[in-house]
Structure 1
Amino acid sequence: MKLVNVYHVDAFTQNPFAGNPAGVVPDANTLTVQQMQRIANELNLPESAFLMSSEHPEADFRIRYFTPTTEIDFCGHATVGSSWLLATERGWLEKGRPIVFETNVGLIPVALDIEAGQLQKVTMTQIAPSVQEIDVNREEVARMVGIRLEDLDDRYPMKLASTGGLHLVVPVRTCEAIDRAVPLLSELERLNKQHRITTTHLFASDAPEGYDVYTRDFAPAIGIPEDPVTGAANGALSGYLALEGFLEKGKVHHLVIGQGHAIGRPGTLYVTVEHTREHPVIHVGGAAHVTIAGQLRLKEE
């Protein structure tokens, strides 16, 4: 019998049962890809992260991400959850330096914010953001995500944005409209697969008190009807806001993004956009809570 340590970490929150749950397997060197996929399916969380040794000279770990149905190239909340676990349960806090993960999209460094010896949050620097056009009918997209056409915010273009995976950015006028959204998941899945989109990301600058932006995220194409609080999609959104000129160039911008409230898993993301150079740099941070720790028992293969 092979025993595999596994953790359930709620990311972008300080509380259990909030934020976005991630599975974290910190000792995955001996697992096959098939085993990793089966474990992710068994955990049935939005994403699970598997950490293993890296041969990259600048990386501390190789990390792979799986939804219950497929491997994806990058996951923000599972990176936050993995970093928090390493810092609080695996002694990384004492090292006093960032953790560098080798992912399918490149190196992702994660800084530890420590005050009086206590970890406050972890912050990942995502890869360079990009945006691209997408030929879609706005009325059809509104129908698929379950809002009215007049709920779309015409001040912002509907585009694809990325800091590691493609996200369809859908601007919405109010947070109330976002909360009312009832997506047609089968149709949205077909649209996303057609354009190789990871998630469809609704956002409103009309945010609840304490937040600058409010978002909601649907990802049926990768086996997740709704992703509660998304580090990758909100990083891509922040890059979109910079590249499309909604964040003034030559400045450093700080955004507090709220997500998950509509489904009872509120989370908070702290995003810094360094828009002082030719290409903006996106940092996405938050806290986490290790909610479950245990062992999987696998048969030897």
Structure 2
Amino acid sequence: MTIRFFQVDAFAERLFSGNPAGVCPLDEWLPDQTMQAIAAENNLAETAFFVPSRDADADYDLRWFTPTVEMDLCGHATLATAYVLAEQFGDDKPVIRFSSMSGPLAVAREGERFVLDFPAAPPRRVAEPQSYADALGAAPADVWRGGDFALAVYADQTAVADLRPDLEKVAALPDGAVVATAEGEAHDFVSRCFVPKAGIPEDPVTGSAHCALIPYWAARLGKAEMTARQISARGGELHCRLDENRVKIGGRCALYLEGRLLI
């Protein structure tokens, strides 16, 4: 069997930045173990698979796999999938609709940007900062939890950039992922995201984390539209907007690779 394959840098202002995602268009689903094996072989943070949807309210059904597990939500691979559909398959709809494990998702085209429409996950404060201090290597001012993400809030961007986490301790925390965040210097806020439980030591750019980050920073800064940067080694730019119980997360994409998988 031959499967087309694309590797896209998502939330990238240029090639070799942002977060690489694999995208596999399918006519019908492969066995779960085959998709998991493909994702492991690709060894990217996520590989997305999509098929034409039979749901009248969606254009495509979408699934995401890390090298070790299937995820219920992934931002950058969804952005990459919409980019591939628009740029490689000629899907010129202004909004591409997906059905997923997290419900209906949509990606709109706004000039050179693709904009995710995801459910907001407003975080709540949790009273256990010490375990996060031990795991991340420095004490956060406080810790919030939204969805699968813990937000460890620091005093400034330098504190986030200087973190040297103990990934075994991060993996032992109750959260699916841990995000360190602070007010930014050139952006409204910055972040770093650690997901060792899913085989991702540090995710370069994490769209889904912004489902919690955007409501938090919108409330703290008193503004609905913001710019954000994930300050990983690769780095990535995100344009953020809180829209009631939804978040809009925009970014650019760059195609790195097109090929065929021989399965």
**Alpha-carbon distance in 2 for matches of 1:256, 1:133:** 23
**Alpha-carbon distance in 1 for matches of 2:120, 2:207:** 14
Q: Is the 8 A contact 2:134 2:169 kept in 1?
A: no
**Residue 212 (structure 2) pairs with residue 230 (structure 1):** no
Query: Which ranges of 4 or more aligned residues in structure 1 deviate by more than 6 Å?
Result: none
Of residues 224, 240, 262, the one that matches 1:253 is 224
Alignment of 1:1-301 (within 5 A): 2-27=1-26, 29-93=28-92, 95=93, 97-114=94-111, 120-136=112-128, 138-147=129-138, 149=139, 152-153=140-141, 157-162=142-147, 166-191=148-173, 195=174, 197-205=175-183, 207-209=184-186, 211-242=187-218, 245-248=219-222, 253-260=224-231, 262-263=232-233, 265-274=234-243, 279-298=244-263
Q: In the TM superposition, what whole-angstrom CA distance separates every residue of 1:190-231 from its partner, at most 9, and x where no partner exists?
A: 11xxx3x221001110x132x111110000011100001110
SS of equivalent residue, structure 1 residue 231: coil
Structure 2: gaps spanning 5 or more residues: none
Give how far 1:14 is off. 3.1
Could you state the TM-score of these two structures normalised by the residue count of structure 1?
0.83
> How many residues align structurally?
263
Q: Is the 8 A contact 2:193 2:206 kept in 1?
A: yes
Q: Is the 8 A contact 1:28 1:50 kept in 2?
A: no
Q: Is the 8 A contact 1:161 1:240 kept in 2?
A: no
Structure 1: gaps spanning 5 or more residues: 115-119
Moved more, 19-28 or 212-221: 19-28
**Alpha-carbon distance in 2 for matches of 1:60, 1:270:** 25
Give how far 1:159 is off. 1.5
Give how far 1:61 is off. 0.5
Give how far 1:273 is off. 1.2
Alignment RMSD: 1.6
| Amino acid in the other structure paired with 2:216 | Y
SS of equivalent residue, structure 2 residue 201: coil
More strand by share: 2
Give how far 1:125 is off. 1.0
